[in-house]
Structure 1
Amino acid sequence: MIGDMSAMFSKMIGTLAVILVISAFIGGSDILSKFIKTDKKWKYSIIFGVLGGIFGIYGNISGFDLNGAVISVRDIGPMLAGFTGGPLGGFIAGIIAGVHRLTMGGITAQACVVATCSIGLICGAVSIKWNKAVVKPYFAFLLSVVMEAFHLCVVLVMVKPFETALGIVRQIAFPFVAVNALGFVMMITIITYTEKQRNLTIERSRLQSELEVANVIQHSLLPLINEDYPGCDGLEVSASMEAAKEVGGDFYDVFFVDQSHLVFVIGDVSGKGIPAAMFMASSKITLQNCIRDIPKLSDAVQTANNVLCARNDAEMFVTLWVGVLDLNSGMLNFVSAGHNPPVLLRNNKAEYLKFKNGFVLAGMEGAVYKEHSVQLERGDTLYLYTDGVTEAEDKNHNLFGEERLLACFENRSGSAPAEIIENVKGSIEKFINGNSQFDDLTMLCFNWKK
């Protein structure tokens, strides 16, 4: 008796293992999602029915013969088909597995046909009415226990003489119910888990594609600085922006107010990712409109600040440096709203252009901003940047810092803005020594040649 029980367990579990591997493949495919979304579900019900029937046949073939009764995990096939393909799928699987069982003969053959077909139909009906509940392990376990108990009851009713049927049921009840119930729970768990993982992978891929498009859109919002733009005699301009993520909150801008006044802007929105990028776009457009409409720079910045505060439900803010260059005289008027001081390179000497800083933009409505000015001389270079430059970290969490940044400008008075930017990038890369980029790196540099 103990030997028969051990052999029965071993054979049923071995069969179950093969079925579970196949279930993992089903869960990793898109069959389930197609069944849920399509209007022609009957096609997939047939597919699931045939597949469940094949599982049932495999269970029959690999089953354990006990006094003319085939003890197997056959019922898992129709149960799975009912769960995935509804009543139609469950019934088809039951018919296929049941007919095959009938051809094998034995005292319980007819009872198994009735039980297997009924189990497929019942599981299909249950999956339609309680679809979300079926995927829960405890519900799947209770359902499968009830189905296998039902199967044994059918055997007791249909197999004659009753004493023989009762003897078979007593001998197989525990392993039969236990293995089938646990097997069905494991199968449901594997399929639903792999289906979720596959959907997560698809969702990640979709989000990655959207982020890549967002990156393209974000860069398209920035001015394309080249030989033709801004195209001013006596002025050379270069810029660079590298987001720490696919999209970032840093930005720069270069645009004309009129034929003789060119505006330079660099900003850094709090936060990173898509929210920062969206607020960046709003800040850039708002500031540009205010500067073009309001003659005095400090008033324009104050108006932009009030506009951004009024619709700042996300409670984000922007550090900003904006300057208006008179292309005839070289006079540069500027306002700083909590931003890093620019580097002024004059006669091979670099120093920070430090003035009293204003409050960040979108941080407090009614904030007042002071306008400053500096007269540029022939050969002067002004380098603007965001805090991602000075706060770049090496693996020991040391910051690149302001001193190292100034050192990048030694003997660089004759260098073009693009060369200066590349030199700073190279110094940062050497300093961080392979450490990941934590913050956006944005730089805007121009050289006054008049």
Structure 2
Amino acid sequence: MTFASHRLVIVAVLEPCYEVGGDGFDYAVDGDTAFFGVFDTVGHTLRSGLGTATVLAGIRAARADRAGLYAMARAADEALAQYLPEVRFTTAVLGTLNLETGLLRYLNAGHPAPMLLRHGKVVNRLDRGRRLPLGMDDAGLEIAEETLEPGDRLLLFTDGVTEGRDRNGAQFGEDRLADLVRQHTTAGLPAPETLRRLCHTLLEHYDGPPADDAAMLYIEWSQAAADRMTP
């Protein structure tokens, strides 16, 4: 759930609901490149979980062949079509980060836009690089790019985070999530502690057990992030 090197920290959390959901995440670091992704297959059945597992298998196989983001997404399309045609689609964000230059490349397949934080503030939403959800062929995709600065952080999340409701029916919402991330980032907490507090606040918001999976992936590109991981 946590990875740290001298240039990068990645932390993930997955809070499952009490039905079978389809949330998932993945990351890998190879030399100067970090890959990451978050996924949400439609539905709340065993097929949803199998759909995400199928997507992950297709993407990992393509990544092992040194394929780019477009080819990874197409591999996921083909895997769903071949092995689980009854699963309609999987939303996802896939990205790569050059650990030397800070160049971020990403695509968004129908998923909530991740947040980019800089100096404790949300400065951008990764809402470009749009294509149809995985499982639906989309040949017109253009990979989006963003240049990070040292110390920048990314928060990827599924709709189970922002759509969780309290006893009055009010959603947790993206504004509340952004505000909490700002607070914890400004406090200078290690990345795992930041995500742990976000998860606990989310669970306190629910009226009863979660109705949907909730997944978050938190990435910090800086040497200081790694230093804060030292006990």
Which structure carries more relative contact order (alpha carbon 8 Å, separation 6+)? Answer: 2
Q: TM-score, normalised by structure 1?
A: 0.46
| Distance in 1, Cα, partners of 2:4 & 2:173 | 33
**Unmatched tracts of structure 2, length 5 or more:** 224-231
**Could you tell me which of 6, 11, 27 is aligned with 1:254?**
27
Please identify which structure carries the higher strand content.
2
Letter of the 1:403 counterpart: D
Note closer, same or farther for the CA distance 1:398–1:299 as it changes in structure 2 (3 Å cut): same
Question: Do the aligned residues in 2 keep the contact of 1:270 with 1:276 (CA within 8 Å)?
Answer: yes
| Distance in 2, Cα, partners of 1:231 & 1:429 | 26
| Distance in 2, Cα, partners of 1:341 & 1:438 | 21
Aligned to 1:284: 56
Letter of the 1:341 counterpart: A
Aligned to 1:422: 196
Note closer, same or farther for the CA distance 1:281–1:307 as it changes in structure 2 (3 Å cut): closer
Question: Do the aligned residues in 2 keep the contact of 1:249 with 1:271 (CA within 8 Å)?
Answer: yes
Q: TM-score, normalised by structure 2?
A: 0.86
Task: Give the match's secondary structure for 1:324.
Answer: strand
**Unmatched tracts of structure 1, length 5 or more:** 1-224
Aligned to 1:444: 217
- Quote how far apart the aligned CAs of 1:342 are: 0.7
- Quote how far apart the aligned CAs of 1:380 are: 1.0
Task: Give the match's secondary structure for 2:133.
Answer: coil
The runs of 4+ residues in structure 1 deviating greater than 6 Å are none
Deviations along 1:322-368, one digit per CA (max 9) or x if unpaired, are: 11111222211111100111111101111433225211001x23543
Aligned to 2:132: 359
Task: Give the match's secondary structure for 1:437.
Answer: coil
Aligned length: 220
| Distance in 2, Cα, partners of 1:300 & 1:277 | 19
| Distance in 1, Cα, partners of 2:115 & 2:180 | 11
Residue 152 of structure 2 is aligned to residue 386 of structure 1: no
Letter of the 1:277 counterpart: G
Note closer, same or farther for the CA distance 1:448–1:440 as it changes in structure 2 (3 Å cut): same
| Distance in 2, Cα, partners of 1:356 & 1:448 | 21
Aligned to 1:315: 87
Deviations along 1:69-104, one digit per CA (max 9) or x if unpaired, are: xxxxxxxxxxxxxxxxxxxxxxxxxxxxxxxxxxxx
Aligned to 2:229: none
Please identify which structure carries the higher helix content.
1
Aligned pairs for 1:159-238 within 5 A:
225-226=1-2, 230-238=3-11
Question: Do the aligned residues in 1 keep the contact of 2:118 with 2:152 (CA within 8 Å)?
Answer: yes
Structure ID, larger Rg: 1
Letter of the 1:390 counterpart: T
Aligned pairs for 1:19-168 within 5 A:
none
Letter of the 2:198 counterpart: V
- Root-mean-square deviation (Å): 2.0
